Chain A
């Protein structure tokens, strides 16, 4: 099987194709000079990419072949005159024919026509706690969206420095679900927010089993985010950004960093930690990764799995290095590239 990675960086996107996941070729940049912040292969065919510029703002592009791109004219947008600004699109996810875009300033938009037009999700975007939403270091962004394959009306989303929200009525109402998670900052009025979720992963066997890499540690919920408890046994640090789960083995992967004030790999050695028991324990799975003088972190959107057997794991660093494993993290290969700061990695089986 061949795997195609969409690698989004601060200065453009790159296609990285792995023939048999052994021989890797790099093409790009596309969207030269733009941040490529999220990517998606649509179930109906074609590609979607989110781009952003510090000067010209964000946009969504569509492509049939991954080469010729056209900007969506009616992309996600806050209303004219609104005091919210659409600064960046952090995640693109598709479920049951609907594409979800999580954005900064924090909000959620959906498209029912493959990304041609978008509608806001007012139940979340105009949430009663919105006055207490404070941006984290990465901005006030909605970066994670999870679905319940047994219940189309149930969706979760994660907003940095605010927390996890869940809807059980198809998006009409959203309730913060952060019980058991330490505050990043306590809001004077809204006590159910102020939790800094960094990323989430979900167990395909049980959509209510959710794993949460939070600013305050690594957590797990077994009840659909009603409650959370830490599961950090074996981790050198509870702090980090990405968490992904391989759908075939249910192995989890994370990249712990040294405490939040540094946000660096401990000791100059980037390490992937893997859990083979759904988060009960964690062990380093880092053979082949740079073991010294390596200070690039891995951002929340820059780690992906391909769900093949055995599972491939892929990650890009803030230093622009790209690392691939075709055996669930047992062995890593460092691709001979030095890209701009890597913001997004997604893996697609060809």
Chain B
């Protein structure tokens, strides 16, 4: 709809269920990835310290995928998003 920002679906890992009261799928909107993430933490401020560090960067072991693309591979977060896009958060699995 004209004037409305694209709405995307954000999926969270199960470990963050206590933070959101058991919710793992949320909606957020924005013209870019950065705007969507800002909207996400505005809607769920309790998520912010778990996804981002004090410098505003993703925590070291937090992975964020936009439509399957690891956002760490992008030049930045000023990437356009479209209605129906998905953002998936995962924790980096390393070690054994």
Which A residues lie at the B interface, using CB under 8 A? 31, 33-34, 51, 53-59, 61, 69-73, 75, 77-86
Of the candidate stretches B2-10, B11-19, B32-40, B80-88, the one touching chain A is B11-19
CB of B67 within 8 Å of the partner chain: no
Given contacts A59-B46, A71-B46, A78-B54, contact A53 B15 (CB under 8 A): yes
Tell me whether A56 and B46 are in contact (CB under 8 A): no
Given contacts A55-B15, A77-B54, 19 further A-B contacts (CB under 8 A): A33-B15, A51-B18, A54-B61, A57-B49, A57-B53, A59-B19, A59-B46, A59-B49, A61-B18, A70-B21, A71-B46, A72-B46, A75-B49, A77-B49, A80-B54, A81-B54, A82-B54, A86-B49, A86-B54
Residues of A within 8 A of B15 (CB): 33-34, 53, 55-56
Given contacts A34-B15, A56-B50, A78-B54, contact A73 B45 (CB under 8 A): yes
Best-surrounded residue of B14, B21, B53 (most CB of chain A within 10 A) = B53
Q: Point out the residue from B21, B50, B91 that lies within 8 Å of A59, measured CB to CB.
A: B50
The complex places the Cα of A69 from the Cα of B46 at a distance, in Å, of 13
Dominant SS at the A interface? loop
Smallest Cβ distance from A182 to chain B, in angstroms? 34
Tell me whether B50 and A57 are in contact (CB under 8 A): yes
Q: Which of B45-74 contact A (CB under 8 A)?
A: 45-46, 49-51, 53-56, 59, 61-62
Instruction: List 17 A-B pairs, Cβ < 8 Å.
Output: A53-B50, A55-B15, A55-B61, A55-B91, A56-B16, A56-B50, A56-B91, A57-B49, A57-B53, A59-B49, A59-B50, A69-B18, A73-B46, A75-B49, A80-B56, A81-B54, A83-B54
Tell me whether A55 and B18 are in contact (CB under 8 A): no
The complex places the Cα of A51 from the Cα of B46 at a distance, in Å, of 13
Residues of B within 8 A of A84 (CB): 54
Given contacts A53-B15, A54-B61, A57-B59, contact A79 B21 (CB under 8 A): no
Residues of A within 8 A of B61 (CB): 54-55
The complex places the Cα of A215 from the Cα of B16 at a distance, in Å, of 36
How big is the B interface, by class? 20 to 34
Residues of B within 8 A of A34 (CB): 15, 18
Tell me whether B19 and A81 are in contact (CB under 8 A): no
Residues of B within 8 A of A71 (CB): 18-19, 46
Q: Point out the residue from B21, B45, B51, B56 that lies within 8 Å of A56, measured CB to CB.
A: B51
Smallest Cβ distance from B88 to chain A, in angstroms? 15
Smallest Cβ distance from A71 to chain B, in angstroms? 5
Smallest Cβ distance from B6 to chain A, in angstroms? 27
The complex places the Cα of A56 from the Cα of B15 at a distance, in Å, of 9
The complex places the Cα of A75 from the Cα of B48 at a distance, in Å, of 11
Tell me whether A55 and B62 are in contact (CB under 8 A): yes
Q: Which residue of B lies closest to A77 (CB)?
A: B49
Given contacts A55-B61, A56-B59, A57-B59, contact A31 B18 (CB under 8 A): yes
Tell me whether B53 and A56 are in contact (CB under 8 A): no
Residues of A within 8 A of B49 (CB): 57-59, 75, 77, 86
Smallest Cβ distance from A156 to chain B, in angstroms? 27
Residues of B within 8 A of A69 (CB): 18
Residues of B within 8 A of A81 (CB): 54-56
Q: Point out the residue from A54, A59, A70, A85 that lies within 8 Å of B54, measured CB to CB.
A: A85
Tell me whether B54 and A79 are in contact (CB under 8 A): yes
Smallest Cβ distance from B60 to chain A, in angstroms? 8
Smallest Cβ distance from B63 to chain A, in angstroms? 10
The complex places the Cα of A75 from the Cα of B49 at a distance, in Å, of 9
Smallest Cβ distance from A322 to chain B, in angstroms? 23
The complex places the Cα of A58 from the Cα of B50 at a distance, in Å, of 7
The complex places the Cα of A56 from the Cα of B14 at a distance, in Å, of 12
Residues of B within 8 A of A53 (CB): 15, 50
Q: Which residue of B lies closest to A72 (CB)?
A: B46
Residues of A within 8 A of B92 (CB): 55
Residues of A within 8 A of B62 (CB): 55-56
Best-surrounded residue of A57, A58, A61, A82 (most CB of chain B within 10 A) = A57
Smallest Cβ distance from B72 to chain A, in angstroms? 15
